[in-house]
Amino acid sequence: MPHHGNEAEHSEGNEPRKPVIRDNRKVDPETGEARHPEGEATSPAEDKAAPDGDALSQAEEILNGVEVPAEESVASGAAVEAEAAELRNDLLRLQAEYVNYRKRVERDRAVAGEMAVIGVLNSLLPVLDDVDAARQHGDLEDGPFAAIATKLENALKTYGLERIAETGVEFDPTIHEALIQQPGEDIEVDTVSQVLRSGYRSGERVLRAAQVIVAVPA
């Protein structure tokens, strides 16, 4: 029986041929490195893009290597200075507002304290009127009550309380309340001749005007 084909094929017997598989992948799956076919030379650009760096690092290197024009640098510096000046002005304005706020708070606190003291003094004026009446009737010439009255009056003086009870002074409508007017001899101006009820003031504030009899020129 005649044979077809070469003897090498028949010498292998009836064994089937094994398929030849060629790995044409450009990246080695085990090492992750790029493959280069035999005889293929790498370009300088490919040698520079070594596996040690990725796309992000390469981009950073490119950006770092870019030179900024002098005009852009000057413009950037001017913008920074303008922003710093604006922030400094805002800080100075904020500081001035804080100083004004602190002064206003301190002033309000002082006024509140003064009003509290005035409220207490006003509440004690009727007590002082009773002390004056008792003294005029001779009830406080001596004894424990006289000492208590003196201590009370001295304690109120420490809070700025002053009595308005002088006679022979010029009539002042801001601190005197004229109940009676009488012609007086050798009087050139209206003069307080008698105090019917003492007045009181605390500092520049008049708590109560003194009720007086005024002598007027004849």
DSSP string, 71-131: HHHHHHHHHHHHHHHHHHHHHHHHHHHHHHHHHHHHHHHHHHHHHHHHHHHHHHHHHHHHH
| Average pLDDT estimate for 22-34 | 60
Amino acid letter at 116? Answer: A
Q: State the pLDDT at residue 82.
A: 83
Asked whether the beta carbons of 190 and 167 are under 8 A apart, the reply is: no
pTM value is: 0.54
Tokens in use for 68?
A: 């900024």
Distance between CA atoms of residues 183 and 187, nearest Å:
8
pLDDT of residue 69: 54
pLDDT in tens, 53-76: 456 566 566 655 555 555 555 567
- 123-159 per-residue burial string, b: 16 or more CB within 10 A, e: under 16: ebbeebeebbeeeeeeebeeeeeeeebeeeeeebeee
Percentage, residues of the chain above pLDDT 70: 65
